[in-house]
């Protein structure tokens, strides 16, 4: 009859509506779970972004420290070069002194020989050469004293040369060490620069992803609201 058909149709509609409601609720629940996951992802991305920012700051500090170290090494290298130049100048002056000593020594030797010959001539002259003999002896004594003094000076200059050579070796070794440290510092500076570029790029990408996820989360949230209304 017509009543039974209407009742049957109503029951079918009711059953369909129940199934639609169940499906909608299932979709809504799934969307809510997805939305929650997106929010969790967004939160984690935010934490990652903060960690990258912190790392970037540490890299910047390390980068600046490396630059300061390089500047300090440059200062030390310049000071060491000044020391080397000072030692070289000292060695040159000592060399000039040695040349003068050699000239004085030659003169003293010649004077001693002349004085000795004069003494012999004075002895041959007898009483007439007595005074001349005294003068010649005094000259020879002074010449011998000069030669002895020159030998002492020569000993001191030799010792100074040995010390300057030792200082030169130490300064040269220091120069080599400074240059090696300088090269290492420059390599580290380059690494820090590359790390900084990488962290900057990563931070930028993370920000973009976080923005995209946040937009998706907002869209999903709107869909969930609409499904709940349905």
Residues whose CB is less than 8 angstroms from the CB of residue 203 and which lie 6 or more positions away in sequence, other chains included: 49, 52, 53, 56
pLDDT tens string 162-208: 888 888 888 888 888 878 877 877 777 777 777 777 777 777 777 77
Residue 116 main-chain phi, psi, to 5 deg:
-65, -45
Q: How far apart are CA 16 and CA 197, in angstroms?
A: 59
What is the maximum span of the chain, computed from C-alpha positions, in angstroms? 184
3-state SS string over the chain? CHHHHHHHHHHHHHHHHHHHHHHHHHHHHHHHHHHHHHHHHHHHHHHHHHHHHHHHHHHHHHHHHHHHHHHHHHHHHHHHHHHHHHHHHHHHHHHHHHHHHHHHHHHHHHHHHHHHHHHHHHHHCHHHHHHHHHHHHHHHHHHHHHHHHHHHHHHHHHHHHHHHHHHHHHHHHHHHHHHHHHHHHHHHHHHHHHHHHHHHHHHHHHHHHHHHHHHHHHHHHHHHHHHHHC
Residues 196, 60: contact at Cβ < 8 Å? yes
pLDDT attached to residue 199:
73
Q: How high is the pLDDT of residue 112?
A: 82
d(CA 169, CA 53): 48
Residue 21: per-residue pLDDT: 66
8 A C-beta contact, residue 74 and residue 179: no
Tokens of 199: 């962290």
pLDDT tens digits, 90-103: 888 888 888 888 88
Per-residue pLDDT of the chain (230 residues; tens, 9 = 90+): 555 555 565 565 566 666 666 666 777 677 677 767 767 776 776 777 777 777 777 777 777 777 777 788 788 888 878 888 888 888 888 888 888 888 888 888 888 888 888 888 878 777 777 787 788 888 888 888 888 888 888 888 888 888 888 888 888 888 888 788 778 777 777 777 777 777 777 777 777 777 776 777 677 677 767 766 66
CB burial string 104-139: b at 16+ within 10 A, e below: ebeebeebbeebeebbeebeeeeeebeeebeebeeb
What is the pTM for the complete model shown?
0.51
Q: What is the pLDDT of residue 18?
A: 65
Which pLDDT value is given to residue 59? 72
Q: Are 162 and 50 in contact (CB under 8 A)?
A: no
């Amino acid at each position: 009859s017509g009543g039974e058909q209407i009742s049957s149709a109503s029951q079918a509609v009711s059953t369909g509506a129940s199934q639609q409601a169940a499906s909608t609720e299932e979709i809504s629940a799934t969307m809510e779970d997805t939305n929650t996951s997106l929010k969790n992802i967004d939160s984690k991305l935010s934490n990652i972004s903060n960690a990258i920012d912190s790392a970037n700051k540490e890299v910047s500090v390390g980068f600046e420290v490396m630059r300061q170290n390089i500047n300090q090494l440059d200062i030390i290298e310049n000071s060491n070069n000044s020391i080397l130049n000072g030692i070289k100048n000292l060695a040159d002056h000592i060399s000039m002194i040695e040349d003068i000593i050699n000239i004085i020594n030659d003169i003293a030797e010649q004077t001693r020989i002349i004085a000795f010959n004069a003494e012999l001539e004075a002895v041959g002259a007898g009483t007439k050469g007595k005074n001349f003999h005294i003068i010649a002896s005094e000259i020879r004594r002074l010449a011998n004293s000069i030669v002895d003094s020159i030998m002492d000076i020569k000993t001191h200059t030799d010792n100074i040369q040995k010390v300057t050579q030792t200082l030169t070796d130490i300064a040269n070794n220091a120069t080599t060490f400074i240059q090696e440290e300088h090269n290492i510092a420059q390599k580290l500076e380059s690494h820090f620069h590359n790390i900084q570029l990488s962290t900057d790029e990563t931070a930028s990408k993370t920000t973009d992803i976080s923005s995209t996820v946040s937009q998706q989360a907002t869209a999903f949230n709107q869909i969930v609201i609409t499904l709940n209304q349905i």
